Structure 1
Amino acid sequence: MTYLLDANVFIQAKNLHYGLDFCPAFWEWLIDNNVSGRVFSIDKVADEIAAGADELTDWMRNSGNGLFLKTDTAIAAQSGRVSAWATGQQYEPAAINTFLQVADFYLVAHALAGGHVVVTHEVPANSTKRIKIPNACIGLDLRFMTPYEMLRGRRRSLFWGRNHEANLRSRL
């Protein structure tokens, strides 16, 4: 099983749960599982992260090589399927137009093309004003889950990380 991460997984991890300095094991886990071919994201998510111009952007540029898949012609074939699904629903035109222009649209297309499980903090919603990733996944018969479900499924405990002792010694 391979996982495809939404931008909010990275952003909320940095801001709320697993700060880069507080829980390095989470970030190491992402890199390790990317190297082993189990965890990815996409170039459009990388663009969203880069727009933040903060320590997460630095982490992505320094450590995220290979993590962010490129959008190519294989994805374009699935983009039509995602677009057809979105326009065939009861969403407001503004919601459809927005969805077709943001990373969420490409994330779902990548997941279809690669058979990935989408990982996001979003939850399904009954709203015509915004297309949520889980609603698109349900409509397109794609599996999705939260980051916590992904970590539990991989049986990962996030302890201090490989470099914790060295980091502690350098601060003393």
Structure 2
Amino acid sequence: MQVIDASAIVHAWDNYPIEQFPPFWEWLEDDCKAGRLCIPQPAKDEVGYVSSECARWLQEVGITVLPVTNDVLSDASSIMAALGVTDDQYHPDGVDENDLLIIASSRCHGAVLISNEARQASLPLNKRKYRIPAVCTHVAPPPVSTCWITLSRLEGVLGLCVRRRLIY
């Protein structure tokens, strides 16, 4: 299973319109319907705030929404402590509460997290400045493996769509 972050789906929605890139959206729809692609509730909420049309499409294709359970809350709390965040004092350059809930949802489901965030060139000394890739790699390593799909290289994405169609 793969879990998608709001940044990835909104980036795709804004940059690769369905009318111009139908194979990409067909692949996403197939994965949503088959339960291979899910979205945590906080990410779905973020999508709704940013793009109501994208949120409506996700609803129409039947994406599975992962709820915030006690296990997710507990894992997010552990990650927050490891980052040194106290009293909800997140750093503006790092992850926030929703990011931690999204990471924890991925971890609790043993899923790959797809995010549009790039790796930081060098890790900040202050862990509160870590972004999703750094948190997944250095603070909350497996069971979640992290995959960053930037969607900026269209050929690679569409190539992935074609390969996945042949596999499934």
TM bin, normalised by shorter chain, reads 0.7 to 0.9
* DSSP-derived class of the 1:156 partner: helix
Please report the RMSD computed on the Cα atoms of aligned residues, expressed in angstroms. 2.9
* 2:91 aligned partner: 95
**Which residue is equivalent to 2:145?**
143
Is the aligned partner of 1:49 residue 2:51?
no
Q: Does 1:75 align with 2:72?
A: yes
C-alpha change, 1:54 and 1:34, in structure 2 (3 Å) is: closer
Pairing 1:104-123 to 2, within 5 Å after superposition: 104-123=99-118
Where do 5+ consecutive residues of structure 2 fail to align? 164-168
In structure 2, relative to structure 1, the CA distance for the partners of 1:77 and 1:96 (3 Å cut) is farther
CA distance in 2 between partners of 1:60 and 1:20 (Å): 13
- For residues 77 and 10 of structure 1, what CA distance do their matches in structure 2 show? 26
- Cα–Cα, structure 1 residues 14 and 96, in superposed 2: closer, same or farther, change >3 Å? closer
Per-residue CA shift, 1:58-80, capped at 9, x if unaligned? 212322x3432111122122122
Deviation at 1:27, TM superposition (A): 2.3
- Secondary structure of 1:25's match? helix
Structure 1: gaps spanning 5 or more residues: 159-172
> Aligned pair in 2 of structure 1 residues 96, 113: CA closer, same or farther (>3 Å)?
farther
User: Could you tell me which residue of structure 2 aligns to residue 170 of structure 1?
Assistant: none
Provide Cα deviations, 1:74-98, integer angstroms capped at 9, x if missing partner. 212212221122117xxxx541897
Normalised by the size of structure 2, how large is the TM-score?
0.73
Query: What TM-score, normalized to structure 1?
Result: 0.72
Alignment partners' CA distance in 2, 1:13 and 1:121? 9
1:32 paired residue number: 30
Q: Which of these two proteins has the greater Rg computed from alpha carbons? A: 1
- Number of matched pairs: 148
CA shift, 1:54, in A, is 3.9
User: Hey, which bits of structure 1, 4+ residues long, moved more than 6 A?
Assistant: none
> Hey, what's the Cα distance between the residues in 2 that align with 1:133 and 1:98?
8
Counterpart-to-counterpart distance in 2, 1:97 and 1:9: 18
